[in-house]
Structure 1
């Protein structure tokens, strides 16, 4: 039994297809199949039911896969332990970032991080919070940047900053004349929202959950882009809420439509998160210190009310 055989087996279990698994393992399909067959012969047990389409795990196969994950994860940590002992900051580091944070935060720290840590190969992927939690659990990414708290005991959260919500209100809107807006002023049916899957949408809905609505809006729109929401709002089709960093690049005309909340403003908590068993702590500390250094000049809010991204019943 070898680590390589276990890795091939895990790939087939994940992709449910020998050809696709071989592509992700960068080997030929016959090589992968042969190694898995050797493992099954050694164990005298069938891991996969190959007659099913897609391929399914046998009952004993499910138990083997669970143990294989533990063994492969622990084998990967040997290199991490050596790097940590030496204080070496380098190697591959896989980072997930949610879509509503990536466009604003990534340009702020990426160049600085690359300059300070040239031996690190940072692999960045835009993922939803749900995808991030799954990939952290499965060991497919090392860390992520997301809105918190997530209330997941297996995941550690290191707060990076608190980002207030800001209203973007067109001239025709009932709240336009107010210098500052209140949470009680909001009506969820009166707000242009991001589409499902974005935790910022969930935070906005949680913020407005107790408010009654008298909206006479004749349409409902959900978009995957803050840029689209900004354009529609400017055209008088409704107000929207933006994270503070998304307001910094607006032009002067667009900024005239911005309205801050009364103190304490609602805000989202943005954290660097990772699995509790993560050992690449020297890389995590390097990433956090880099983001801390660049974000400090952009956000200096402390008196805020954190709005959870978790959906409430």
Structure 2
């Protein structure tokens, strides 16, 4: 039994296809199949039911796959121990970022990080929270930046910053004369939302304390873009809420339509999240330090109230 064989078994278990598992493992399909077969012969058990499509994991196979995940993770930890002992911060590191954070945060920290840690090959993927969680569990990404708290047993959360919600109120809107917003001012049928699947959408709905199904007698618009929501607001379709960092790049005319909330300001908690096994923790810590130090200069709000990103 080898670590490589166990890695191949995990690939087949995940993709339920030998050809795809081989492609993802960067080996030929015959090589992967032969190694899996050798392991089955050694253990004298059948790990996969090849007669089914997609390939099914046998009952004993499920138990072995669970144990294989632990063994492979512990094997990878050995290299981590050596790297940490040598003070080495480098190698491949895959970071996931939710779509509502990626456009604003990435340009802020990436140049500084790659300059400070040139030996880290940072691979960045924009993914929704549910996908990030699944990929952390499966070991496809090393860490992620997401809205928290998530309350997931196998994930550790390290808050980076607290980002206030800001109202975008166009002229002639019923709240345009307000100097500050209160949560009681919000009416869910008057708020343009991101499309389903964005945690910021769920945070806004939770803030409004209104039914989750947004309805109107005339139209229903949901978008994946804050820019679209702002443009629709300017056309008199309603108001919207933006994360604070997204307001910094607005032009001066649009900034005149921004309204801050009365303190404590509703805000979202943005954290660096990763598996509790803490693989590659030295790179994770380096990321946290760089991001936190940079954002600290952009967000100075102290008196905030965290709004849950969970769909409640």
Aligned to 1:60: 60
Paired residues for 1:279-290 under 5 Å: 279-290=279-290
Normalised by the length of structure 1, the TM-score is: 0.96
- Matches of 1:302 and 1:120, distance apart in 2: 33
Q: CA deviation at 1:294?
A: 1.2
Q: Which runs of 5+ in 2 are unaligned?
A: none
- Structure 2 Cα separation of the partners of residues 61 and 244 of structure 1: 48
What is the aligned partner in structure 1 of residue 239 from structure 2?
239
- Contact kept, 8 Å, 1:187 with 1:215, in 2: the verdict is no
For the pair 1:27 / 2:27, whether they are aligned, the reply is: yes
Q: Is the 8 A contact 1:98 1:145 kept in 2?
A: yes
Shift of 1:238: 0.9
SS of the residue corresponding to residue 164 of structure 2 reads strand
Alignment of 1:115-126 (within 5 A): 115-126=115-126
Number of aligned positions between the proteins: 312
Q: Is 1:190–1:217's contact at 8 Å kept on the other side of the alignment?
A: no
Matching residue of 1:47: 47
SS in 2 for 1:272: strand
Q: Is the 8 A contact 1:166 1:258 kept in 2?
A: yes
CA deviations on 1:134-184 (whole Å, 9 max, x unpaired) are 222222211111111111232221111110000111113111111211100
2:292 is matched with which residue? 292
Provide the aligned C-alpha RMSD in A.
1.7
Gaps of 5+ in 1: none
Match in the other structure for 2:70: 70
Residues 275/99 of structure 1: CA separation in 2 closer, same or farther (3 Å cut): same
Q: 1:134 to 1:256 in 2, by over 3 A?
A: same
CA distance in 1, matches of 2:281, 2:26: 28
Q: Deviations over 1:232-281 (max 9, x none)?
A: 11111110000000000000111111111111110001111112211322
Write the distance in 1 (CA, Å) between the matches of 2:77 and 2:286. 19
Partner residue of 1:191? Answer: 191
Other structure's SS at 1:228 match: helix
Q: Is the 8 A contact 2:92 2:123 kept in 1?
A: yes
TM-score, structure 2 as length reference? 0.96
Task: Tell whether the 8 Å contact from 2:188 to 2:210 is kept in structure 1 after alignment.
Answer: no
8 A contact 1:162–1:270 mirrored in 2: yes
- 1:259 is matched with which residue? 259
The runs of 4+ residues in structure 1 deviating greater than 3 Å are 213-217
